[in-house]
Chains A and B, each alone.
Chain A
């Protein structure tokens, strides 16, 4: 496989297998999105890729640690340092010094809209501003592999758009980007989507490939047609029909990545195990 990534990755916490046989690859200039629910194994995969934990098995392809940028899901910003001080620490840690460090910091602050907040403490920033600062810290040394764990979770749509501009910019500049997200619409921007469930790969490919591979049809209706195969999208229900029949009162829906991910989960679950929460 070309690019960075993992092959047959296994991660274990004690006796619990968190990741079991995950493989994917992300070349430079592209974005790979890891999608999955809570406990799917996204964070474990990213932690291995970033070098924070050791895998229990499999192979990991990543550059030297100086060329990895990592934004963990938790706190990545020092709350008792100012925006400038946080960036200066990151620059120094990765060996970016002097005018070059200042130039890159200025540029990132401008692109993130944090220029006016440079002397504010990390703890005084809003959640969105903190996420932007964390991303700026991960980008400052211009990494070849950028590993981002849910960078946009819990922040406003405007900040999300700003963050995605930065992420896309990093990929355009040549970085291989792996981003975990629980927003399927964000995953549609990626070249490769890896859908994880219970530590295993459920689907993998470009968003179009993943959608095209969905078995049966998905129909739209005003009423809930099947308690186990229906989910609400906006104000209307969608229902997966594995055999391709369109029930009366329903119309065939235009499938998107979110539907494809839900269908993949439904397909994996044995019948009678409950309803879809989406």
Chain B
């Protein structure tokens, strides 16, 4: 038995990645769940509009935090602000009437907190509390916000896990070297390798959206093209991550480890399960570096709220920036894989031509 124990420790010593995962992962999970796993909403970003806006803003108590007071704006303006995701709640005042509270139902936890807070305020004597009206997700159904998020998770899985395994399989089998000497440009191999995954992911996206719509009544209020653009950019990031993982993994086991380490933080810190604004600042900033964070903002915005493209410039830009960075890096590393030693394939010798090695 001790022979087995000794052998196992010797093998583990050489498999630093597994050791790192065994030691680092519990720490990461502890920190994430300690600081990020919170459904408590302490602040609800609120805009107050209408003729009596200032007075209504002065009466607002926590968890409502007044972001802007716009006496000249109307209910329509307030709806637009919520649709664009610029606030989580809006108080609409009317001359001589009861103010109304519009709540963004796409931000489920903030919306529930807002409805509760308004109910409590109404219960207190002498406090004229605004009547709540939940927009976009009036029944505050979890499925309405989970399905658009799930679309992102599935795209991450296909992009990162399936792609990295597909490329590593080629390396592990030894066929990558065969591809390297075939008359393919590295870009041909790269695109040829990821295009099938891209198409499968696109079909998956369509199916999930349709099933979500018919089975779970998840609305689709925005533009299909905007979602398609966001999904394409997002897929570039995830497929790039998949290829990047494959270039630093020698076998499928290593690729799965790394893919797991990439996917897990995205599921936990992207706002899919726990609201980003409830997380501790340090952990939240990790969330801001993850592509799924921006895709979820985009898919929930487009599908649930019908957010127009001009209000989604930030997530689209962030996905584009991450896409260029990750995809570019993976392409560089993949080229190096296919052309070890910096071999310039375009300079392959013509028949019977001498190629001075130093000049290549």
B25-33, B198-206, B318-326, B344-352 - interface stretch:
B344-352
Q: Are B349 and A64 closer than 8 Å at their CB atoms?
A: yes
A77 to chain B, nearest CB (A): 8
Within 8 A of B (CB), among A165-214: none
Check A68–B181 contact: CB distance below 8 A: yes
Minimal beta-carbon separation of A70 from chain B (angstroms): 5
Q: Mark A50-80, 1 if CB is under 8 A from B, else 0.
A: 1111111111111111111010101111110
Q: Which residue of A lies closest to B341 (CB)?
A: A54
Which residues on B sit within 8 Å (CB–CB) of A62? 348-349, 355
| List of B residues within 8 angstroms of A65 by Cβ | 181-183, 345, 348
Residue of A nearest to B338 (CB): A52
Q: Which residues of A contact B357 (CB under 8 A)?
A: 9-10, 54-60
User: How far is it, in angstroms, between the C-alpha of A70 and the C-alpha of B353 when the chains are bound?
Assistant: 19
Cα distance A3–B180 when bound, in Å? Answer: 23
Mask, B207-242, CB within 8 Å of A = 1, is 000000000000000000000000000000000000
Is A95 in contact with chain B by the CB < 8 A criterion? yes
Q: Is the CB of A54 within 8 A of B340?
A: yes
Q: Are A74 and B341 in contact (CB under 8 A)?
A: no
- Say yes or no: B345 contacts A51, CB within 8 Å: yes
CA distance A63 to B345 in the complex (A): 12
What band does the interface of chain B fall in when counting residues whose beta carbon is under 8 Å from A?
Answer: 20 to 34
- A115 CA to B261 CA in the complex, in Å? 46
Say if the beta carbon of A93 comes within 8 Å of chain B: yes
Kindly state the separation between the CA atoms of A209 and B221 in the bound complex, as whole angstroms: 83
Given A75-B174, A76-B178, A93-B184, A61-B343 contact (CB < 8 Å):
no
Does B358 lie at the interface of the complex (its beta carbon under 8 Å from any beta carbon of A)? yes
Instruction: Please determine whether B183 and A93 come into contact, CB atoms closer than 8 angstroms.
Output: yes
In the complex, chain B residues whose CB is within 8 Å of the CB of A54: 339-343, 357, 360
Q: Is the Cβ of B353 less than 8 Å from the Cβ of A61?
A: yes
Q: Name the contact of B350 in the complex, choosing from A3, A64, A79 (C-beta under 8 A).
A: A64
**A144 touches B (CB below 8 Å):** yes
Q: What is the chain A residue whose CB lies nearest that of B360?
A: A54
Given A78-B173, A78-B175: A50 and B350 interface contact (C-beta under 8 Å)? no
Cα distance A14–B280 in the bound complex, in angstroms:
46
Q: Which of B181, B345, B355 contacts A70 (CB 8 A)?
A: B181
Which residues in window 156-175 of B have CB below 8 A to A? 173-175
Minimum CB–CB distance for A120 against chain B, Å: 17
**Is A164 part of the binding interface, using a Cβ–Cβ cutoff of 8 Å?**
no
A51-B345, A64-B348, A78-B173 known; A59 vs B356 contact (CB < 8 Å): yes
Q: Is B354 close to A, CB under 8 A?
A: yes
Q: In chain B, what residue has the closest Cβ to A68?
A: B181
Give Cα distance in the complex from A60 to B354, angstroms: 6
A60 to B348, CA, bound (A): 10
Number of A interface residues in the complex (CB < 8 A):
37
Instruction: Give A93 to B356 CA distance when docked, in angstroms.
Output: 27
Cross-chain contact A61 with B349 (CB below 8 angstroms): yes
| Nearest neighbor of B180 in chain A, beta-carbon distance | A52
Instruction: Pick from A3, A9, A68, A76: contact of B175, CB below 8 A.
Output: A76
A5-44 vs B, CB cutoff 8 Å, 1 = contact: the mask equals 0010110000000000000000000000000000000000
Closest to B339 in A: A54
A94 in contact (CB, < 8 A): yes
Q: Which of B183, B342, B350 contacts A95 (CB 8 A)?
A: B183
Once the chains are docked, how many angstroms separate the CA of A65 from the CA of B348? 7
Q: Which residue of B lies closest to A77 (CB)?
A: B175
Which chain B residues (10-53) contact chain A, with CB distance < 8 Å?
none
Task: Determine if A52 and B183 form an interchain contact, defined as CB atoms under 8 angstroms apart.
Answer: no
Partner of A67 from the list B174, B342, B351, B358 (CB cut-off 8 Å) is: B351
Please indicate the chain A residues that have their CB under 8 angstroms from the CB of B178 in the complex: 70, 72, 76
Residues of the A chain whose Cβ atoms lie less than 8 Å from the Cβ of B342? 54
Taking a contact as CB atoms closer than 8 A, the residue among B174, B181, B352, B358 that contacts A51 in the complex is B181
Give A72 to B178 CA distance when docked, in angstroms: 7
A4 to B177, CA, bound (A): 21
B340:A52 contact, CB within 8 angstroms:
yes
Complex contact B351–A144 (CB within 8 A): yes
A93: B residues at CB distance < 8 A: 182-184
**Could you tell me the distance between the alpha carbons of A113 and B360 in the complex, rounded to whole angstroms?**
42
Docked-complex contact B351 and A53, CB < 8 angstroms: no
- A94 and B342 alpha carbons, distance in the complex (Å): 23
B348:A53 contact, CB within 8 angstroms: no
User: Which of A4, A10, A54, A76 has the most chain B CB within a 10 Å cutoff?
Assistant: A54
Question: Which residues of A are found within 8 Å of B353, using beta-carbon distances?
Answer: 61
A52 to B357 alpha-carbon distance, docked (Å): 14
User: What A residues does B351 contact at CB under 8 A?
Assistant: 63-64, 67, 144
A93 CA / B177 CA spacing, docked (Å): 14
Q: Look across to chain B and name the residue whose beta carbon is closest to the beta carbon of A58.
A: B357
Report A-chain residues with C-beta under 8 Å of the C-beta of B183: 64-66, 93-95
Set of chain A residues within 8 Å of B181, measured between Cβ atoms: 50-52, 65, 68, 70
Chain B residues closer than 8 Å to A61, beta-carbon distance: 349, 352-355
Q: Can you show 26 pairs from A to B with CB atoms below 8 A apart?
A: A3-B352, A51-B345, A52-B340, A53-B340, A54-B340, A55-B357, A60-B355, A60-B357, A61-B349, A61-B354, A62-B348, A62-B349, A62-B355, A63-B352, A64-B348, A64-B351, A65-B181, A65-B348, A66-B183, A72-B177, A72-B178, A76-B174, A78-B173, A78-B175, A79-B173, A93-B184
- Beyond the given pairs A10-B357, A76-B178, 11 more chain A to chain B contacts, judged by CB atoms under 8 angstroms and listed by A's residue number, are A54-B341, A54-B360, A57-B358, A58-B357, A59-B357, A60-B357, A61-B352, A63-B350, A63-B351, A64-B351, A70-B181
